[in-house]
Structure 1
Amino acid sequence: MRSAKLSRKTVLLSSVAAAFAVVGGGVVVAEATSEREDAPEGDEPVEATTTQDPVGELLASMSLEDKVGQLFMVYVHGERADTDDPDAVAANRERLGADNGAAFVAAYRPGGVIYFDWANGLRDPAQIAALSNGLQAASTVPLLIATDQEYGSVVRIGEPATQFPGAMPLGATRDLAAAEEAARIAGAELRAMGLNQNFAPDADVNVDPANPVIGVRSFGSDPALVADFAAAQVRGYQAGGVAVSAKHFPGHGDTGTDSHVGLPVITHTAEEWERIDAPPFRAAIEAGADMVMSAHLQFPALDDSLAPATLSRPILTGLLRERLGFTGVVVTDALDMQGVRTEYGDDRVPVLALLAGADLLLMPPDFPLAYEAVLDAVASGELTEARIDESVRRILALKHSRGIVDAPEADEGAAAEAVGSDANLAAAADIAERSVTLLANDGTLPFAAGSVLVTGWGENTTRRLAEALAAQGLAAEALVTGDAPDAGAIAAAKAAAAGRDLVVVATRDVRAGSAQAALVAALLEGPAPVVAAAVGTPYDAAHLGAVHASLASYSYAAPSLAALAKVITGAVAPTGTLPVDVPAAGGGVLYALGHGLGY
């Protein structure tokens, strides 16, 4: 780290708050006085002056090092900003070059921090709010504090935060107002805990049933449906008080490779991109999305150099900026993912991303290396300071427009009351109940009385579903077999099903030849009717044979499992309709988009 950086902790910008202070509708800017280490005692405050460009004032007062810091968003370890936990300190030193979040923020002034449960604990609203406040207190320039709270399969903050079912279940409701309200509630809960940025909604169109990384994170396979829901959620999150990021540009919905572990290739033509992938991003941009996140994938029809989209100027600047007219912040997907590291070193990726048109660099695997690489690129002339200024201005403008500068801190005492309220939980339950889709039924459902075995994927899933069925008056018992049951587990499940009146099998990510399919086949040999409940994508139905009834909840969140139980028992009638086509195992379509049975 450059030695000049640490020595500037309190000298830089006490004027930051003044530069953004809004008084009576006018922006007030004041010079720094008493906050400076070298300010003589007894100085009178300098009179404030008015400016119409607080972002420009702040930008002009920043050093190059401060501006480069703003280009990065990282994660820090520790449940507190000033943690002294030895494991957290060691992890922070290794990745960030600082002991804890507060020390890192004070030294480097990053643009933001992203939260993960495994790094920050995230155990309750008060703790999260205190962590947020501690980080903000250490930063001269208010931070973006973000997370990936997509809900459904991607959740960083669990209960007591309200757990919405996720994107694909929302698509199954066909209710745009519900999608907007879910996002508003979610945004308000995040803001109550001091978060002001959410990396959502997912704007990918999931047209590949085998997609290993998107699936239920997408609203569906129809571009128009995804576009409408993405725009609704942009409006909702912003109404709840958080900035949003549509992702993953130019579209990650048709790939068989996970960009966390490899470099996917999208084979769509330019015309197919325009028809399939582009509409949701256009809609999100028109709705006012604050950020668009790039994808680590090759898209030869859009850039024949085969550079990953994150490092592609034709895609980020030519397509996103110039063609779609996006003027907000372009954020990279995480730079520690393998998809962007396959061809380039960790010192080159940040520089190439900025040259391509990115503004905010997310989670470099070695922050000091990345930070120095950008500074060195400016020193060598590969990057100009004017180019750095463009990105920093966008980042600062976002912080101003979303009220992050005016009110960066959370009310720690009020956080618990604002998160997971009865009204919010009721809203999540309502969405879950209206999303459950009945794909097939020979008359077995509804099942109102009797003994039930709940088996299949997921220890918590089977247990919670059995408890939910018991709450509906059934005698229900859970037996976990997992995602790849062996012969012993299958035999145990078959034995446990003996004498039951119904068997419910929870499935997730079933493929041809899957052991989960073998479990279902074995259970179908018994006398009890078998109900298959897909708690991930509904594509499982193509591989499970002639079950007596087939359901899709698209989610294993608690509200979705409670909704499944109510639909199974008839307490709630199924009203969800498929937001995707479910292909048949041998070709063609088994269940078409829009399919859904009732009672």
Structure 2
Amino acid sequence: MTCTPSPQTSSPSINRRTFLKAGAAGLAVAAGLGLAPLPAFAEGAQGSGNTDVEAVLAGMSRRQKIAQKLMPDFRKWAQDGTVADFTVMNAEVAGIVDKYDFSGVILFANNVKETEQTLRLCRGLQDAVVGNASGNSFGDVPLLLTIDQEGGIVYRLGSGTGLPGNMAVGATRSVEDARDCGEVIGRELSALGINVNFAPVLDVNSNPNNPVIGLRSIGSKPELVSELGVPMMQGVQAHNVAVSAKHFPGHGDAGTDSHTGLPRIEKTQEELEAVDFAPFKAAIKAGADMLMTAHIQYPKVETGTATSTNPDTGEIELPATLSHIFMTDILRTEMGFTGVSVTDALNMMAIASNFDYIDAVRRTFLAGVDIALMPLSLTSSDDLPRLDALIDTLEQDSSITDAYLDESVRRILALKKKRGILDYASTAGDIDAALSETLATVGSAENRSVEREVSADAVTVVKNEGGVLPLCPSSGDHVLLVAAYQNERPGMELAMRRLIAEGKIPEDVTYKSIDYAETYGDPALALEAILPEVSEATQVVVISEVGRTSNLNPQLKSVYSTYIPTQIAIKANEAKVPVAIMSISLPYDCAVYEDAPAVAAVFGNMGMDPTEALAPATAFGPNIPAGIEVLMGGHGAQGKLPVDLYDAVVDDNGAHFNIESIAYPFGFGLEYDPCGEKTTVDTTALAATVKDIEDNVVPKKDTFTAESFAALQSALDAAKAVLDDPDATQEQVDQALKELTDARGALVTAGGSPEPGTNPHPTPDTDANDKKTPKGKVPNTGDPSPLAALAAAAVAGAAAIGAGRAIGANDAKDDGE
């Protein structure tokens, strides 16, 4: 199917989406997640395949084959004594990529700031190679131009489409949303000449304390990650861009960031098979081009050791990247992967702090990995002697056999042939002719429309006491928008401008944004400025952005904790002003806001340029605007939690989670329609049951034990109250029916036995528990019964959330992902 997103000015349609409506049945993970597959999508046109892989391979020397297995970055380059972002091709880099026969180059945000600049840089890199100034007999092999365009908190294209990210996609429960996101990425990369995406992330975020994956994961269940990760992957491939699923064998249970240390996971292979391997197996079956490795120790699987170069560390178990057991025995032999494997960046501290750079690449090759990513730093011609030393050493190493090199390089060349990369010289065409199409594609209105809709589909409401949501501002209302940081305010304001421009809220609604963590810094000063504004508002939305478990304490007086949002909620309650808390990072903070009547998660904390208006020209974080649109009622609420949220505990050890107590389980999410829309609620079954009990059971109340009949009477009164409530939702009606029939079935006669004939009658015409639930105003989450039923089916995860803010597009990291 082709992607036909709704125009940006239309009301978002929820009928076109394929959803998994979560309930107790949806949480039965053994039965899968029930996501409806989309029709097969034909891949984009590939190369003509005229280039002979075997002929190219036969013409390569051993040294050239080793170089073909290296993939450096040129994030920055020094010229004339000045180090700057490498954005424009120069003669030095052109000479290097032509001479050394690399498999490819990885690009970062430093390299891809604007559309035309990126296209010209990519063309320049390829042209330098195919020009073959070095005179290789086989002709130079075009490059894999790679990038980490995951979407969400990790995106690189400065003028592209940021997308809401994987955990947000997980919250949509929509195969079509996942596929659409992949297609947006594929369209934009293909237009720029970038032919490999190091994505999707297929790590199962089973450890909430994970400091590096978090929002980059689709969720905490392997079924969900597989069901949505594969269509996302296929969406990218549909535009003839290769994908590299990551991070095999799984980074989701790590408690250490491999950028800064060496993680260790105490899982057996059987445990890995049950959770972490599953999405990678699904991706392999579906045709993943590449897999990226994880720098993680698994001592219960790989027992081989090496001596760390750090004298304080001593012997360490080999991380998976350097493990023949993982990279060959399991990945190739057991799982049957025939594509290209690539390491995560070898300059990450998990490797660089324990291995010499030459030894790390050597061990990578011996493990059976095809491409060593970022094996050393290349920032000027002064670094070339180290590159030569690396290639010289490996060329002379007899343990790296010619047979292995041929097998590995053949896979790399076969991928380049499959994706048309070997045909670059004959298919690239004139750059000026391609430029207009590229400018029309990257960051296009079509792509931004998909981004906006998916981001809104993801917003997950977990609390809505008194039906405060949607806020639905009326004529003359004044909305207060409270951000944590300054770069979040423009996204909140963008949402309000859109809603007003599209007529979804009255044009005379006013709004004001303010932030507490950056403008004020001190919590007392922030509250002194903000609380008076709360009293003047008619609706308040306040952002919660928590990166450390310790900051979950609402009594901890810090601008980085849940303290300020809690105090704002308390003030709003006193002033009788509707208030909603919007969690924008990992959603675990949603569970701590007891004083807030409404809480929602948006799963993304990227900001935006404050100068952008209704149609931003640069990439931005779409989650914050989407959250405002859903809370205000411009789009219905329909997201479902992709992870469990635990109750928070504050004791002498600080704030942490009680992993035995799930506040909001995987799959939970309250729903409502956009403002002005009301879905018909079917009360037929409930009304019939109430009438039957009043006619046939109540007259016999003296025949039942007082306790059992009191329970029935309570359920009957509650059911009648629901029937009398004009704003009752289908969810409330169905729950009242369930509780009423359960209480009837539990009646006990005064003699001590169940009353014959008191089992619930079949409901007329419909089974309310099997019916798709329409959306209306949501129930009071003070009623614990729906949550308890879901929580009983949920699987407990780990105890705490990760430290630090997530990796953003422009974070100045010196390593890969």
Q: What TM-score, normalized to structure 2?
A: 0.63
Asked if structure 2 preserves the Cα contact closer than 8 Å seen for 1:198 and 1:244, the reply is yes
Indicate yes or no: 2:471 matched with 1:447: yes
Offset at 1:453?
2.3
Indicate yes or no: 2:596 matched with 1:551: no
Q: Give the Cα–Cα distance (whole angstroms) in 2 for the partners of residues 151 and 451 of structure 1.
A: 33
1:370/1:352 CA distance change after superposition, 3 Å: farther
The equivalent residue for 1:68 is 66
Offset at 1:558?
4.0
Say which is worse superposed, 221-230 or 515-524, in terms of deviation. 515-524
Indicate yes or no: 2:487 matched with 1:464: no
The equivalent residue for 2:451 is 428
Indicate yes or no: 2:562 matched with 1:499: no
Offset at 1:338?
0.3
Q: Give the Cα–Cα distance (whole angstroms) in 1 for the partners of residues 48 and 586 of structure 2.
A: 49
Q: Give the Cα–Cα distance (whole angstroms) in 2 for the partners of residues 330 and 128 of structure 1.
A: 26
The equivalent residue for 2:671 is 598
Indicate yes or no: 2:374 matched with 1:363: yes
Asked if structure 2 preserves the Cα contact closer than 8 Å seen for 1:451 and 1:500, the reply is yes
Query: What does 1:33-48 correspond to in 2, within 5 Å?
Result: none
1:477/1:179 CA distance change after superposition, 3 Å: same
Asked if structure 2 preserves the Cα contact closer than 8 Å seen for 1:270 and 1:302, the reply is yes
What amino acid sits opposite 1:462 in the alignment? R
SS of 1:297's equivalent in the other structure is coil
Offset at 1:455?
2.1
Identity across aligned pairs (percent)? 37
Say which is worse superposed, 129-138 or 563-572, in terms of deviation. 563-572
Query: What does 1:28-427 correspond to in 2, within 5 Å?
Result: 54-77=52-75, 87-88=82-83, 100-118=92-110, 120=111, 122-139=112-129, 140-159=140-159, 161-305=160-304, 306-366=317-377, 368=384, 369=386, 372-407=389-424, 409=428, 411-427=434-450
Offset at 1:316?
0.8
The equivalent residue for 1:525 is 570
The equivalent residue for 2:792 is none
What amino acid sits opposite 1:499 in the alignment? E
| Deviations 1:249-299 (CA, angstroms, capped at 9, x unpaired) | 110101221110011111223222111101100001111111110011111
Offset at 1:525?
3.1
Q: Give the Cα–Cα distance (whole angstroms) in 2 for the partners of residues 321 and 254 of structure 1.
A: 23
| Deviations 1:435-465 (CA, angstroms, capped at 9, x unpaired) | 1111111122111223222223332222321
Asked if structure 2 preserves the Cα contact closer than 8 Å seen for 1:68 and 1:375, the reply is no
Q: Give the Cα–Cα distance (whole angstroms) in 1 for the partners of residues 47 and 320 of structure 2.
A: 44
Q: Give the Cα–Cα distance (whole angstroms) in 2 for the partners of residues 492 and 300 of structure 1.
A: 53
Q: What TM-score, normalized to structure 1?
A: 0.85
Say which is worse superposed, 317-326 or 83-92, in terms of deviation. 83-92
Asked if structure 2 preserves the Cα contact closer than 8 Å seen for 1:510 and 1:543, the reply is no
| Deviations 1:326-356 (CA, angstroms, capped at 9, x unpaired) | 1111100011100112321112111111111
1:475/1:71 CA distance change after superposition, 3 Å: same
Offset at 1:23?
13
Q: Give the Cα–Cα distance (whole angstroms) in 2 for the partners of residues 166 and 469 of structure 1.
A: 22
Q: Give the Cα–Cα distance (whole angstroms) in 2 for the partners of residues 244 and 439 of structure 1.
A: 34
Q: Give the Cα–Cα distance (whole angstroms) in 1 for the partners of residues 441 and 499 of structure 2.
A: 29
What amino acid sits opposite 1:104 in the alignment? I
Offset at 1:392?
1.3
Offset at 1:597?
0.4
Asked if structure 2 preserves the Cα contact closer than 8 Å seen for 1:77 and 1:88, the reply is no
What amino acid sits opposite 1:591 in the alignment? Y
Structure 1 unaligned blocks of 5 or more: 1-21, 29-53, 93-97
Q: Give the Cα–Cα distance (whole angstroms) in 2 for the partners of residues 370 and 129 of structure 1.
A: 27
Asked if structure 1 preserves the Cα contact closer than 8 Å seen for 2:297 and 2:320, the reply is yes
Asked if structure 1 preserves the Cα contact closer than 8 Å seen for 2:47 and 2:418, the reply is no
1:171/1:26 CA distance change after superposition, 3 Å: closer
The equivalent residue for 2:728 is none
Asked if structure 2 preserves the Cα contact closer than 8 Å seen for 1:351 and 1:373, the reply is no
What amino acid sits opposite 1:479 in the alignment? I
Offset at 1:470?
4.4
Structure 2 unaligned blocks of 5 or more: 1-44, 130-139, 305-316, 379-383, 501-508, 552-559, 606-619, 650-657, 673-817
SS of 2:263's equivalent in the other structure is coil
Q: Give the Cα–Cα distance (whole angstroms) in 2 for the partners of residues 148 and 91 of structure 1.
A: 17
1:110/1:25 CA distance change after superposition, 3 Å: closer
Say which is worse superposed, 524-533 or 490-499, in terms of deviation. 490-499
Asked if structure 2 preserves the Cα contact closer than 8 Å seen for 1:321 and 1:327, the reply is yes
1:329/1:366 CA distance change after superposition, 3 Å: same
Asked if structure 1 preserves the Cα contact closer than 8 Å seen for 2:170 and 2:224, the reply is yes
